[in-house]
Amino acid sequence: MSDPATAPDTVEIYADGACSGNPGPGGWGAVMRWRGHEKELNGGEPDTTNNRMELMAVIESLRALKRPMTIDVYTDSTYVQKGMTEWIWGWRKNNWRTADKKPVKNADLWQMLDAEARRHTVRWHWVKGHAGHPENERADALARAGVPGRS
């Protein structure tokens, strides 16, 4: 039996977000890898936050997949990683409110991410940002390139 982390039908996604000011113009980027193929994605918004761009990087990567897959998502955002592995269960149960009854920040994107992730089997991994991890550095460069107004 093969290791699921190296199974041929496992997609690897390396996602990152960037913001010039917070809030301010922001970008997101992702590197997707499957069966020896790579795809790079990026985009941005003129007025956003870093956390929204971190979420968009994963949302858009999952949207790019045409069928249910096993996915390893690598992010340097503890906000995204903990949100999907720890906090989301309570948010769903509390109708997208925090434990102290306040609306969840970025609930629109969390709901989109939740819906996209439910189509797949997703494993969430945190990687240290700006630490020389090649795919994370590429995702960061793509995110910075996606910031509107940057050339």
CB atoms inside a 10 Å sphere around CB 64 = 14
Question: Are 27 and 43 a contacting pair, CB within 8 Å?
Answer: yes
Packing angle between helix 134-146 and helix 50-63, nearest 10 degrees?
Answer: 110
Percent of the chain with pLDDT over 90: 87
From the list 17, 44, 83, 146, the catalytic residue is 17
> Which domains, ranges and CATH numbers included, belong to the chain?
11-146 (3.30.420.10)
76 is in an annotated binding site: yes
Q: Is 37 a catalytic residue?
A: no
Cβ contacts of residue 104 below 8 Å, gap of 6+?
A: 91, 96, 97, 98, 110
16 is catalytic: yes
Is the bond leading into 134 cis (omega within 30 degrees of zero)?
Answer: no
17 is catalytic: yes
pLDDT at 2: 40
pTM for this prediction: 0.92
- Phi/psi at 127 (nearest 5 deg)? -125, 145
Catalytic residue among 45, 54, 116, 135: 54
Q: Tell me the pLDDT tens digit for each residue of 3-59.
A: 444 556 799 999 999 999 999 999 999 999 999 999 999 999 999 999 999 999 999
Indicate the average pLDDT of the chain: 93
